[in-house]
Amino acid sequence: MLTDVPGKEGQSVDKDTLLAQIDSRSTTAKRRIAEGELSAAQAQAANDAEVEVAEKAVAVSFEEYQQSKEIRLKNPGAVSESQLRKDRFTWEKSKAQVKQAINEKEIARLTATAKQAQYDAASIELDLRQIRAPFKGYIVEVMKNAGDWVTVGEPIMHIVGLDRVRVKGFVLVSGENGASHDEVIDKPVTITVDAPGGKKHTVQGRIGFASPVIEGVGSSRKFRIWAEVDNDTTIDPVTKRETWKIQPGSMATMTIDLTPPKPAAPAKTEPAKGGKGKVDAFKPVTGEAEKSGATKGPRAF
């Protein structure tokens, strides 16, 4: 169940802004339990008291065993063989208890690691119940309100990012304006967007993608392209509100510049110092492709 939906239609939001909150009481309780168990396991893993007690018991039992041996050597009848075996057993048991204490300390450390994983899992589950904006954008529709129930994957609201938009289109393969995908990829483009009221808005960009797959048949064969451009804002003179110049779904004309870059003119040769050197002036040579009209210029698609 949604307990809160602070995101509203028409609201501009930044990345990670809280948009909706799913009921998280049970998850919060699970994380508190995991946190308590983690603290207990960490405290037990850091406690050396049992190891120290076991080590001191080894020292005491060893001294008692040695004392019994010495007494029996001086006076065999003072300490029985059975008592000597008991003292030795107590000493051996104390040494085993040291190993047991060290083993329990290691188990506590491993338990703390497991409890840490449980705590992290509960934290992730709690975070997933907080619906946050995946990017900076604008809320255009809210489908659910506080008190509504939602399932996994069900949309709660629609957000669009308008600071950078993608302009999609097609390029013909044949004809006067035909081209191939390798000719247009990464080429500069001029995009003229049809704005409301007959207005025009022009932006510059580059072709970011040109599909190698040709669609259609005959003279209508074409391939997909797109270019991403930065969107600008404008201030309404009446309301003084900031709005985006390019709206999603707008029609546009994209002009791709296929003109190759002009060759740079070679630098002039300087005469040698102290002599009458000859200076030759070089001029760019016009290519045969340019003479024959094969050089391609801007095209509108």
Closest to 6 (Cα-Cα) out of 137, 139, 161: 139
Can you tell me the mean pLDDT for 174-189? 86
Of 19-23, 80-84, 238-242, 278-282, minimum mean pLDDT range: 278-282
Q: Does the pLDDT value for residue 138 go beyond 80? A: yes
Query: Domain check: are 50 and 190 in the same one?
Result: no
Which position has the higher pLDDT, 157 or 97? 157
Provide the domain limits for residue 141: 1-23+130-161
Looking at residue 286, its pLDDT comes to 41
- Residue that terminates a domain, selected from 144, 161, 178: 161
Looking at residue 268, its pLDDT comes to 61
Query: Domain check: are 154 and 5 in the same one?
Result: yes
Can you tell me the mean pLDDT for 122-137? 89
Query: Domain check: are 107 and 198 in the same one?
Result: no
Cα separation of the two ends of the chain: 49
What size, in residues, is the chain?
301
Query: Domain check: are 154 and 11 in the same one?
Result: yes
Q: Does the pLDDT value for residue 285 go beyond 70? A: no
Q: Does the pLDDT value for residue 114 go beyond 60? A: yes
Confidence of residue 208 (pLDDT cuts 50, 70, 90): very high
Residue 295 amino acid letter: T
Q: Does the pLDDT value for residue 158 go beyond 90? A: yes
Q: Does the pLDDT value for residue 57 go beyond 90? A: no
Query: Domain check: are 178 and 73 in the same one?
Result: no
Can you tell me the mean pLDDT for 37-63? 82
Can you tell me the mean pLDDT for 133-161? 90
Say how far apart CA 99 and CA 162 lie, in whole Å.
66
Residue 41 amino acid letter: A
Q: Does the pLDDT value for residue 136 go beyond 80? A: yes
Say how far apart CA 116 and CA 240 lie, in whole Å.
52
Can you tell me the mean pLDDT for 196-211? 87
Which position has the higher pLDDT, 94 or 213? 213
Looking at residue 299, its pLDDT comes to 54
Q: Does the pLDDT value for residue 8 go beyond 80? A: yes
Q: Does the pLDDT value for residue 116 go beyond 50? A: yes
Can you tell me the mean pLDDT for 107-112? 86
Residue by residue, DSSP assigns the chain as -EEE----TT-EE-TT-EEEEE--HHHHHHHHHHHHHHHHHHHHHH--HHHHHHHHHHHHHHHHHHHHHHHHHH-TTTS-HHHHHHHHHHHHHHHHHHHHHHHHHHHHHHHHHHHHHHHHHHHHHHHHTEEE-SSSEEEEEE---TT----TT---EEEE--SEEEEEEEEESSSTT---HHHHTT-EEEEEEE-GGG-EEEEEEEEEEE-S--BSSGGG-EEEEEEEEE--EEE-TTT--EEESSPTT--EEEEE--PPPPPPPPPPPPPPTTTT-------PPPPHHHHTT-S---EE-
Query: Domain check: are 283 and 260 in the same one?
Result: yes
Looking at residue 288, its pLDDT comes to 39
Q: Does the pLDDT value for residue 13 go beyond 60? A: yes
Q: Does the pLDDT value for residue 294 go beyond 70? A: no
Query: Domain check: are 193 and 226 in the same one?
Result: yes
Q: What is the pLDDT of residues 19-28, one digit of tens each?
A: 999 998 888 8
For 33-38, the CB contacts below 8 A with 24+ separation are 34/115, 34/118, 34/119, 34/121, 34/122, 35/119, 37/115, 37/118, 38/112, 38/115, 38/116, 38/118, 38/119
Query: Domain check: are 66 and 116 in the same one?
Result: yes
Q: Does the pLDDT value for residue 276 go beyond 60? A: no
Question: How many domains does the chain fold into?
Answer: 3
Confidence of residue 296 (pLDDT cuts 50, 70, 90): very low
Place of tokens 């003119």: 265
User: Looking at residue 11, which CATH number applies to its domain?
Assistant: 2.40.50.100
Q: What is the pLDDT of residues 210-262, one digit of tens each?
A: 999 999 888 889 999 999 988 888 787 888 777 788 888 889 999 999 887 67
Query: Domain check: are 207 and 87 in the same one?
Result: no
Cβ atoms of 195 and 245 closer than 8 Å: yes
- Residue that terminates a domain, selected from 111, 143, 161: 161
Looking at residue 47, its pLDDT comes to 79
Q: Does the pLDDT value for residue 41 go beyond 80? A: yes
Can you tell me the mean pLDDT for 5-10? 89
* Sign, Cα dihedral of 105, 107, 108, 113: positive
Q: Does the pLDDT value for residue 284 go beyond 70? A: no
Query: Domain check: are 116 and 147 in the same one?
Result: no
